[in-house]
Structure formats: structure tokens, C-alpha cells
């Protein structure tokens, strides 16, 4: 079996040899190191490798070469190897020099590279290898070749097999899908020892679940509620960024904390392929990765998790708040943090709803993007999330069309994203346009687009559609006493005084809702910033306020809820 290639390009021969040696010594058993001493030779060699079907995991190019800048070369590499990681090689501290710093900034902003790599100093240079390992990890993750991948086998891409993929995604479990009649599918079914019922879920240790329920799947991944343990100090509804942050702070500060989520971890953030504005992650971090780390952290600090359980009602009984869950049980605590976020609006085109999972996807393309190589892809939406999705998909797809209702991209998207979208050659933007219909057999084939000014509808060929058309808060299940704004978002703190919705003499705490002891954090809250960092901040603040309330031997509510 040929092993994947690590490709190095540098005009300076001694530097090239040093890099080759450094890579070969460390990775020689699992990768083959190939080098080229000029950008032209590199492109010729890479095309030749692609022609014979060799895999390239990482291309490292020095920035300052005579024939072509490294960033320009790496942009071209995307056309030959869309999934290869691309590293721009620079000298230590060169980002401080205006010319290199500027080139690096541009290359990152225009997505010509994944990140930079500092030239190794002396062997072994562990900083260099830490960076190389991160590139290789990202490559393996995107290609779903991690040995920890759970395999889902189904009869079609849509239906229950798609729902199971969603559940695994929401429990942050790496997974891949194959059709039951494919050679891999047949082999997995034959080796599973299961009775043949589909869809089949096969874990890396060989355990197989035939047509499992969501709760069975969550239990297999290790997160269900312990029926013996129903009383807590703090219950958090939602395991998105706000809920996970509250869990870390609640558990670390000694509160018996339960986090309930109707899916798994990460909330909306799991659909973000690359969050670049979260503090401390200069190369960006996928929402899923961030959620996995936060979950692990909260779990190790002692928080309990119940996945695949929805909270269906909230009531007060004395000084405790009771929440009913979909497993039929109740859990209670003196304080509750509502961090249930928001859910995507639906397109409400029945022909397209029938194709959800089979070419039509709600939310970001984080897990589907690698499968989009050479496809004709559409993204609907005009906000940052849609811009990010289009950029991520453009790395794989032949063409991405961004369909926007508004007449300008600037109306809903940050300036830096508008620039990136404009600068990406395989993204087309259709302003003032709506998706009004579509068609497909086993998978999406066509979309019908109509200009909003009443012009004629047009049918276009499409192999995938990603819908990023805004969200509404998940507050329908909450009691009417909880004050909301016109959009259903929960009012908190000072807003409640203005509304006259606050029932006590004391002032409401800043994130407290109109039910004393019930707090709201993150996107569910009126006035939230709709950012991961803001949700994380609010989650931690809410825990601080819970402490304040518990310590102050709070006043009872005027009326029981
Ligand atoms: C595609 C996309 C890209 C984005 N990119 C960025 C970015 O680059 N940078 C940035 O800062 N922000 C980004 N955002 C916004 C960011 O993800 C959100 O602001 C953030 O996730 C809000 O966190 P949250 O915890 O408040 O809510 P959510 O993330 O919505 O999480 C809420 C959780 O509550 C659960 N839940 C809901 N109702 C119930 C119930 N009744 N019972 C149990 N559980 C329930 C849900 O399953 C969910 O897991 C992006 C959003 C999207 C959709």
C-alpha cells in the first residue's frame, strides 16, 4: 500500500535537505517525503502524483521563492489536492517583518493556506513537529481516516441513516457513512454478527448496533441520565457553548451539576467548520473540536451529562425547580440555567424537505464538506455563518453558489468575510434571489431559483444545498410566565423591570429571567451577541450569579410557578 506523501518545496537546497531529513526521521514509516526545488517542479510533480492516484497529506512551501510566492503556489495546490493541508514556511519571528507578516496575513485571509510553519531550528525541533502533527491530524480528521471513526451503514443517504449520523455528530463522535450495497458496506454487515437490520452502526471496537434508537446510541457513546441521581444543585439545559461553559464553572466550583441536551454537545457551534474569532486559537478551531474539549473538561471536573433527552417543562415547587425530561423522569435543583440556544428556520419547500440528508442540509457543512469534492453546491443565507460555509465548501466543491435574499452581501455579513467570498474564484453570489423549489431521486439534482423582484424562475443543476437561513429560540416548551420578546427570546435582568414582569422586591440579577432562580445564557437570551465567546462568557457569569443567589438565601417568589 503506498503511504501518503509529505511534499516540501524550497529553492534553498540546504534548507530543503534539512526539512526532508527532519520529516523523514520522524514520519518516514507512515508517510513518504517528496521534495521539489522550485514551484514549477512542485506543480509538475504534484500533478503527476495526482494522476497515479497518490495521496498527499501536507504541502509545505517556503514563502519567498523567485518564480512564485509560496502562498501563490499553495493556492494552486488546492486545485490539484483539495484535501491536502497547506503550510507556509517562514523563519522564526518573520511575522514581525512587514513584508512576510503582510503576506502571511493575506494568505490566511484568502484561505490560500491552512497555517504557517516555522522553519526547524536544530534537530529535534519539537515546536516544528507539534505543528506538523496538527496539520496531519486535521488532514486525517477531514478524510475520516481516524481509527476511532464509527461507521454507519444504510440503504440510502437520507432517512434514519442520516438521523443517526446527525446524532453521532451531535455527540461529537467521528463517523463515516457507506451504502449497504457498497463493498465496504457489505463487509461491515457481514462481519457485524447483527441480524441484518439497517441502518447498522459499527463502533471501532467491533460492537454493532442494528437500527438503534437515539437513546441507545447516546448510551453507547456514554452519556445518559443516571436514574438514581435526580437531585442537583444546578441544572443546565443545553450543551452548546453557553451550557458547556456553565458546566465547567458550576462543576469546578463544587455545585452538583447536570447538563441536559436533546442532542449531544456543541449546539450550533458544531456546524461551524472554522471559528476564527475565539480567543486563543490563532489557526481557528472547528466548533466540534472546541465542544469536545469543553465537554471533556466539564466531565473531568465532575459535571453529569444526559444526551438525547429534551426538557419538556419547568415548574417551581417550594424552593426547588423541577424539569420534566423525555425519558419520563424529573430532575430538580434550586437553580436552572437555560442555555437552549436557537434552531434553524426551515425553508418550507416540501420537495426539498424530503431530501434532507440526501443533498439538502440544514446548518454548516462541517461534517459533509469533504464529500463535496468536484460537486455543484448551493448555500442559502446572507449572514456570517453562510459566508463561512461557502468558503469552507469552496475548498472542495467545483462551484459554490451563495443565494442571498438581500441586495447586498454587506447587509448581513462581516466585512472580512465579504472580502474572502469576493476573492474566491469558485464562489458565485446571487443576490436578491430565493430558492422556491427543487427535485431529486435518491439525492438532490435540481433547484429552482427565483429573483425576489418577481422575475422568472430558473432551474439549475445542484448536487448539494446547505441552508443557513437564521434561527429561532428554543423556548416553546417553557412556561408562559417566562418573559420573552416578540421573537420568543428570553428577557433577563434590567429588561424585566421595564416590562413589569419581575415578581420580587429585590432586583433581578443580570442574567436572571422572570422566574427567580432561572437564568438564561447564550443565544436563547434577548440581546445576546450570537457569538461563541459571548455564550461562553454568559455561561460562566450565570454560574457566578447562581452562587450569589444561593449565598444570599434568596427571597421566595411571590407566586409559585
Ligand atoms: C454555521 C454557524 C457558524 C457559526 N460561526 C461562528 C463563528 O465563527 N464565531 C462565533 O463566535 N459564533 C459563530 N456562530 C454562532 C455560535 O455558534 C452561537 O452563537 C453559539 O453556538 C450559541 O451558543 P448557545 O450555547 O447559546 O446555544 P446553541 O449553540 O444553540 O446550543 C443550544 C443547545 O441546547 C440544546 N437544546 C435546545 N432545546 C433543548 C431542550 N428543550 N432540552 C434539551 N436541550 C435543548 C440544543 O440541542 C443545543 O445543543 C455560528 C453559528 C452557526 C450556526
Cα–Cα distance between 402 and 389 in angstroms, integer? 9
Distance in Å, CA 112 to ligand 1 centroid: 28
| Closest approach atom of ligand 1 to CA 364 | 1
DSSP state, residue 468: -
232-242 pLDDT, tens digit each: 999 999 999 99
| Closest approach atom of ligand 1 to CA 263 | 47
DSSP state, residue 490: B
The answer to whether residue 508 scores a pLDDT higher than 80 is yes
Give 500's contacts (C-beta < 8 A, 6+ positions apart): none
* Residue among 327, 297, 291 at smallest CA distance from 216: 327
Specify the pLDDT at position 559.
39
* Atom 49 of ligand 1, nearest CA residue: 267
Averaged pLDDT for residues 287-305: 90
**Residue carrying C-alpha cell 444526551:** 307
| Closest approach atom of ligand 1 to CA 521 | 26
Q: How many CB atoms lie within 10 A of CB 457?
A: 11
The answer to whether residue 480 scores a pLDDT higher than 50 is yes
Q: How confident is the model at residue 526 (pLDDT cuts 50, 70, 90)?
A: very high
* Residue among 148, 200, 246, 302 at smallest CA distance from 511: 246
**Phi, psi (rounded to 5 degrees) for 421:** -60, -45
Specify the pLDDT at position 561.
33
Distance in Å, CA 412 to ligand 1 centroid: 19
The answer to whether residue 18 scores a pLDDT higher than 50 is yes
Residue 383 near residue 468, CB atoms below 8 Å: yes
The answer to whether residue 132 scores a pLDDT higher than 60 is yes
Residue 363 near residue 393, CB atoms below 8 Å: no
Among 268, 382, 392, 518, say which to mutate for ligand 1: greatest number of ligand atoms within 8 Å of CB.
Answer: 268
Strand partners, 56: 5
| Closest approach atom of ligand 1 to CA 530 | 19
Q: Is 478 left (phi over 0), alpha (psi -120 to 50) or beta?
A: beta
Among 249, 272, 286, 471, say which to mutate for ligand 1: greatest number of ligand atoms within 8 Å of CB.
Answer: 272
Answer with the residue of higher pLDDT: 312 or 264.
Answer: 312
* Residue among 385, 391, 386, 353 at smallest CA distance from 372: 391
The grid coordinates of residue 403 equal: 443565494
Q: How confident is the model at residue 306 (pLDDT cuts 50, 70, 90)?
A: confident
Max CA distance (Å), the chain? 79
Q: Is the CB of 342 under 6 A from ligand 1?
A: yes
Cα–Cα distance between 238 and 104 in angstroms, integer? 38
Q: Is the CB of 539 under 6 A from ligand 1?
A: no
User: Which range is least confidently modeled, 30-39, 132-141, 314-323, 550-559?
Assistant: 550-559
The answer to whether residue 161 scores a pLDDT higher than 60 is yes
Specify the pLDDT at position 235.
97
Q: How confident is the model at residue 560 (pLDDT cuts 50, 70, 90)?
A: very low
- Return the SS3 of 472: strand
Q: Is the CB of 313 under 6 A from ligand 1?
A: no
Q: Is the CB of 239 under 6 A from ligand 1?
A: yes
How buried is 487 (Cβ within 10 angstroms: 0-12 exposed, 13-18 middle, 19+ buried)? Answer: exposed
The answer to whether residue 555 scores a pLDDT higher than 50 is no
Q: Is the CB of 243 under 6 A from ligand 1?
A: yes
Q: Is the CB of 269 under 6 A from ligand 1?
A: yes
264-294 pLDDT, tens digit each: 888 888 766 678 778 998 878 888 889 988 9
**Where are the alpha helices (H) located in 143-213, listed in sequence order?**
160-170, 183-192
Answer with the residue of higher pLDDT: 89 or 346.
Answer: 89
Which of the listed ranges 135-149, 215-229, 271-285, 529-543 does the model predict with the highest average pLDDT?
529-543
Distance in Å, CA 341 to ligand 1 centroid: 5
Distance in Å, CA 375 to ligand 1 centroid: 28
Cα–Cα distance between 158 and 154 in angstroms, integer? 9
**Percent of the residues in the chain that have a pLDDT greater than 70, as a whole number:** 95
Distance in Å, CA 307 to ligand 1 centroid: 15
Residue 188 near residue 181, CB atoms below 8 Å: no
**Phi, psi (rounded to 5 degrees) for 43:** -65, -40
Among 261, 269, 468, say which to mutate for ligand 1: greatest number of ligand atoms within 8 Å of CB.
Answer: 269
Helix pair angle (70-80, 98-109), 10° resolution: 20
How buried is 491 (Cβ within 10 angstroms: 0-12 exposed, 13-18 middle, 19+ buried)? Answer: buried
Specify the pLDDT at position 367.
65
User: Which range is least confidently modeled, 35-39, 344-348, 395-399?
Assistant: 344-348
The answer to whether residue 12 scores a pLDDT higher than 80 is yes
Distance in Å, CA 507 to ligand 1 centroid: 29
User: Does the pTM exceed 0.85?
Assistant: no
Q: How confident is the model at residue 500 (pLDDT cuts 50, 70, 90)?
A: confident
* Residue among 100, 108, 13, 93 at smallest CA distance from 63: 100
- Kind plus residue range of the DSSP H or E element containing 8: strand 5-9
Residue 61 near residue 38, CB atoms below 8 Å: no
Amino acid at each position: 500500500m503506498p503511504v501518503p506523501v509529505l511534499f516540501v518545496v524550497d529553492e534553498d537546497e540546504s534548507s530543503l535537505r534539512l526539512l526532508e531529513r527532519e520529516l523523514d526521521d520522524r514520519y518516514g514509516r507512515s508517510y513518504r517525503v517528496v521534495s521539489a526545488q522550485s514551484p514549477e517542479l512542485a506543480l509538475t510533480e504534484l500533478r503527476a502524483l495526482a494522476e497515479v492516484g497518490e495521496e498527499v497529506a501536507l504541502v509545505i512551501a517556503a514563502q519567498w521563492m523567485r518564480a512564485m510566492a509560496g502562498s501563490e503556489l499553495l493556492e494552486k495546490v488546492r486545485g490539484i489536492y483539495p484535501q491536502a493541508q497547506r503550510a507556509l514556511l517562514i523563519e522564526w519571528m518573520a511575522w514581525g517583518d512587514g513584508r512576510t507578516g503582510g503576506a502571511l496575513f493575506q494568505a490566511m485571509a484568502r484561505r490560500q493556506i491552512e497555517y504557517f510553519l516555522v522553519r526547524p531550528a536544530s534537530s529535534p525541533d519539537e515546536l516544528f513537529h507539534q505543528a506538523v502533527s496538527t496539520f496531519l491530524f486535521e488532514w486525517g480528521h477531514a478524510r475520516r481516516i481516524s481509527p476511532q471513526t464509527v461507521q454507519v451503514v444504510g440503504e440510502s443517504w437520507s432517512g434514519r441513516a442520516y438521523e443517526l449520523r446527525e446524532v453521532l455528530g451531535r455527540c461529537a463522535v467521528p463517523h463515516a457513512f457507506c451504502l449497504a450495497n457498497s463493498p465496504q458496506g457489505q463487509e461491515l454487515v457481514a462481519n457485524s454478527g447483527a441480524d441484518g437490520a439497517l441502518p447498522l452502526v459499527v463502533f471501532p471496537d467491533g460492537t454493532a448496533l442494528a437500527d438503534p434508537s437515539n437513546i441507545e446510541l447516546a448510551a453507547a457513546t456514554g452519556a445518559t441520565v443516571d436514574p438514581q441521581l435526580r437531585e442537583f444543585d444546578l441544572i443546565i439545559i443545553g450543551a452548546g457553548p453557553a451550557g458547556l461553559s456553565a458546566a465547567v464553572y458550576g462543576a469546578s466550583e463544587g455545585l452538583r451539576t447536570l447538563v441536559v441536551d436533546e442532542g449531544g454537545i456543541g449546539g450550533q457551534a458544531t456546524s461551524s467548520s472554522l471559528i476564527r474569532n475565539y480567543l486563543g486559537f490563532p489557526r481557528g478551531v472547528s466548533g466540534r473540536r472546541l465542544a469536545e474539549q469543553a465537554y471533556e473538561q466539564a466531565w473531568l471536573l465532575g459535571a453529569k451529562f444526559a444526551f438525547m433527552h429534551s426538557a419538556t417543562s419547568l415548574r417551581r415547587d417550594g424552593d426547588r425547580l423541577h424539569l420534566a425530561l423525555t425519558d419520563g423522569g424529573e430532575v430538580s435543583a434550586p437553580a436552572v440555567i437555560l442555555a437552549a440556544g436557537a434552531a434553524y428556520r426551515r425553508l418550507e419547500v416540501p420537495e426539498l424537505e424530503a431530501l434532507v440528508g440526501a443533498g439538502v442540509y440544514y446548518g454548516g457543512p462541517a461534517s459533509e464538506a469533504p464529500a463535496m469534492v468536484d460537486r455543484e453546491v448551493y448555500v442559502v443565507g446572507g449572514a456570517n455563518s453562510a459566508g463561512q460555509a461557502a468558503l469552507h465548501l469552496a475548498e472542495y466543491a467545483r462551484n459554490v453558489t451563495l443565494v442571498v435574499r438581500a441586495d447586498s452581501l454587506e447587509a448581513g455579513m462581516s466585512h472580512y468575510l465579504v472580502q474572502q467570498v469576493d476573492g474566491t474564484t469558485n464562489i458565485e453570489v446571487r443576490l436578491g434571489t430565493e430558492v422556491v423549489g427543487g427535485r431529486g431521486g435518491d439525492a438532490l439534482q435540481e433547484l429552482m431559483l427565483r429573483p425576489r423582484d418577481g422575475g422568472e424562475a430558473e432551474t439549475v443543476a445542484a448536487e448539494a444545498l446547505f441552508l443557513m437561513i437564521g434561527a429561532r429560540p428554543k423556548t416553546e416548551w417553557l412556561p408562559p410566565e417566562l418573559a420573552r420578546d416578540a421573537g420568543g427570546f428570553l428577557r433577563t435582568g434590567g429588561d424585566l423591570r421595564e416590562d413589569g414582569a419581575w415578581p420580587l422586591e429585590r432586583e433581578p440579577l443580570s442574567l436572571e429571567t422572570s422566574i427567580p432562580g432561572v437564568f438564561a445564557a447564550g443565544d436563547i437570551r434577548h440581546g445576546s451577541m450570537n457569538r461563541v465567546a459571548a455564550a461562553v462568557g454568559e455561561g460562566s457569569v450565570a454560574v457566578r450569579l447562581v452562587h450569589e443567589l444561593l449565598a444570599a438565601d434568596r427571597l421566595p417568589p411571590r407566586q409559585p410557578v
